[in-house]
Amino acid sequence: MNWKILLTLFIIVAITGLLLFSDKGKDLKQKYLDKYITTVGNFFKGITSKLKGPKTYPNNTFEATITTTSDVFKGQKLDVENIGFTGKLEYDVVTVGGQNINVKDKKEIEFTTDSMTGTLMIDTDNVMRISGQSTSVELNGIVFSPKTGEKTIEFSLVGTPVEYTMTNFYKESMTLSGVSGLLKLKDWSPLSLKGDSLDIKNFLGTVEQSDDSLTITGKVEKVSLNGVDLTLKA
C-alpha cells in the first residue's frame, strides 16, 4: 500500500513540475500557487516547531566538593538568580526598600532571603557587597515584605562576612585561583590542592563559608585543574 501512495505522489509532483515550467504554468504559479505554497510551507513549519524536543540543560550530573579557604572568592563578582542566602555579617550599611536600617548596640546582623536575584562581590579586603531584590528579606528575625502591589523588595548590604550559605547557586563558568585544600570528584580519590587553579563548568549547588573556611559542593559538568580537564565517567 505504501509504495502505491509514493508512486502516486511522484507522478503528481512530476506533472506539476512540467506544468510550472511551461508558459501557462508560470502564470498559474504566479496567480495561484505561490500563495498556496507559502501557506503550506508555514503550516509544516509550525508543525515541525511543535515537534521539537524539550529544551536541553547542561549535563551537570557529576558530584564535586571543594574545601578551601575563603580567600579564593576575594575579588570575585557573582551574578546570582533565585538563590537562597543566609548569613551573618559585621555590617557597615544596610538598606531595605530604599530605607537605611540601623541596628542599635549590635555590630553583627543576621540576614536571610529565599529567592535573591542580584550581585554579590567580595573585595580584596574581605568586604562583601550584596545588592538585589527578593520576595522578602529577614534581618535579625524581622521580615521585610514588598510594598502592596509589588512582588519584590530591593536591598543592599555592605559588611565583613562571618559566615554565610548560598543555596541553588548556579554558575555557567567559574574560575578559582590559588586554591589550597581538597577536591573530591565522583569516582576519584580526593585530590590535595596547593595554590592550584580550578575552572568549573556549569556548577549548581551550595557555597558555605564559616570564618576562613569555604566549602563548595554540588554538581558540575566539567572541572579543569591547572588547565587539564578531569574527565569523568557516569
Report the chain's C-alpha Rg in angstroms: 29
Q: What's the mean pLDDT when you consider all of the chain?
A: 80
Q: What is residue 54's DSSP assignment?
A: P
Q: What is the pLDDT of residue 30?
A: 52
Report which residue type is found at 1.
Answer: M
| pLDDT over 70 percentage in the chain | 72
Complete DSSP assignment for 88-148? EEEEEEEEETTEE---TT-SEEEEEEEEEEEEEEE-TT--EEEEEEES-EEETTEEE-PPT
Which among 20, 43, 39 is positioned nearest to 30, based on CA atoms?
20
Report which residue type is found at 7.
Answer: L
Q: Is 167 helix (H, G, I), strand (E, B) or coil?
A: strand
Q: Is the pTM of this model over 0.85?
A: no
| pLDDT over 90 percentage in the chain | 57
Q: What is the mean pLDDT of residues 184-208?
A: 92
What gap in Å lies between CA 208 and CA 220, rounded to an integer?
17
Q: What is the pLDDT of residues 168-180, one digit of tens each?
A: 999 999 999 999 9
| pLDDT value at 191 more than 90 | yes
Tracing cell 512530476 back to the chain, one arrives at 14
Q: What is the pLDDT of residues 13-50, one digit of tens each?
A: 455 555 545 555 455 445 444 544 444 444 444 434 43
Tracing cell 570575585 back to the chain, one arrives at 76
Residue ranges of domains in the chain: 2-50, 62-230
- Per the structure block, which three cell numbers stand in for 15? 506533472
- Per the structure block, which three cell numbers stand in for 165? 550559605
